[in-house]
């Protein structure tokens, strides 16, 4: 047994970054493994690995949702899974210059709300392969799927369809 009256705990940088003294606001770093269920949305995430987008349609009023939804928001009846087309159109779009921890390093990036023929609600996804100035409402876009599936909504993203370049009003005959 060794007695050491000068023993000291190891120091850590965690919590030493101070943002305010009253109230005291410090920065701490933490990381966790999060095991969670997709429950009734599981089919949507499984399908992404098969390069399929699954939506849902109301069995009673036939409202078509471009997202997983177990019950109809219009009439409350149960829905069933239906495959969405992989081609759609931009309903609206934005460019994000800020994001949560995971997405922050990827900024700026484009987000689009996708409209599908035969469906009544929209699907939100990333659009790559186009700059902010290239996007327009009604632009035809195509779904792409990541090869390495992470069972996350980002397993699917969109790219512009071939020939979807915006025609400039100043030079309508301009070729690409
Ligand atoms: Zn319904």
- Model pTM score: 0.78
pLDDT of 62 reads 98
Whether residue 53 contacts residue 156, with contact meaning beta carbons closer than 8 Å, is answered with: yes
Structure tokens at 175: 């070729």
Q: How far is the CA of 61 from the centre of ligand 1 (A)?
A: 4
Predicted local confidence at residue 167, as pLDDT: 75
CA of 58 to the centre of ligand 1 (A): 5
Short-list 91, 46, 49, CA closest to 66? 91
| CA 60 to ligand 1 centroid distance, Å | 5
Q: Which pLDDT value is given to residue 137?
A: 97
Distance 79 CA to ligand 1 centre (A): 8
The confidence score (pLDDT) of residue 175 equals 52
Ligand 1 midpoint to CA 56 (Å):
11
Give the pLDDT of residue 170.
59
In the reported structure, the alpha carbon of residue 82 is separated from the centroid of ligand 1 by a whole-number distance in angstroms of 14
The pair of structure tokens assigned to 39 is 């429950």
Which residues make Cβ contacts (< 8 Å) with residue 36, sequence separation at least 6?
A: none
Measure the CA–CA gap between 137 and 70, rounded to whole angstroms. 29
pLDDT of residue 2: 87
Neighbours of ion ligand 1 (CB under 5 A): 58, 60-61, 63, 72, 74-75, 77
70 CA distance to ligand 1 centroid (A)?
11
In the reported structure, the alpha carbon of residue 109 is separated from the centroid of ligand 1 by a whole-number distance in angstroms of: 35
Distance 41 CA to ligand 1 centre (A): 18
C-alpha 59 – ligand 1 centre gap (Å): 7
Asked if 57 and 79 count as a contact pair (C-beta separation under 8 A), the reply is yes
Residue ranges, the chain, pLDDT below 70: 168-176
pLDDT of residue 50: 95
Quote the ligand 1 centre to 170 CA distance (angstroms). 46
């Amino acid at each position: 047994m060794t007695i050491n009256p000068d023993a000291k705990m190891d120091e850590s940088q965690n919590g030493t970054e101070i943002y305010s003294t009253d109230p005291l606001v410090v920065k701490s770093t933490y990381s966790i493994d999060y095991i969670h269920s997709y429950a009734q949305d599981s089919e949507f995430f499984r399908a992404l690995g098969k390069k399929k987008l699954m939506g849902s349609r109301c069995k009673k009023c036939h409202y078509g949702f471009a997202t997983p939804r177990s019950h109809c928001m219009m009439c409350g009846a149960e829905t069933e899974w239906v495959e969405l087309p992989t081609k759609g159109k931009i309903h609206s779009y934005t460019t994000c210059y800020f994001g949560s921890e995971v997405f922050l390093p990827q900024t700026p990036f484009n987000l689009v709300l996708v409209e599908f023929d035969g469906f009544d609600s929209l699907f939100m996804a990333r659009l790559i392969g186009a700059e902010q100035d290239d996007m327009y409402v009604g632009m035809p876009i195509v779904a792409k799927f990541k090869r390495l599936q992470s069972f996350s909504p980002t397993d699917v993203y969109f790219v512009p369809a071939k020939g979807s370049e915006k025609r400039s009003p100043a030079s309508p005959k301009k070729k690409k």
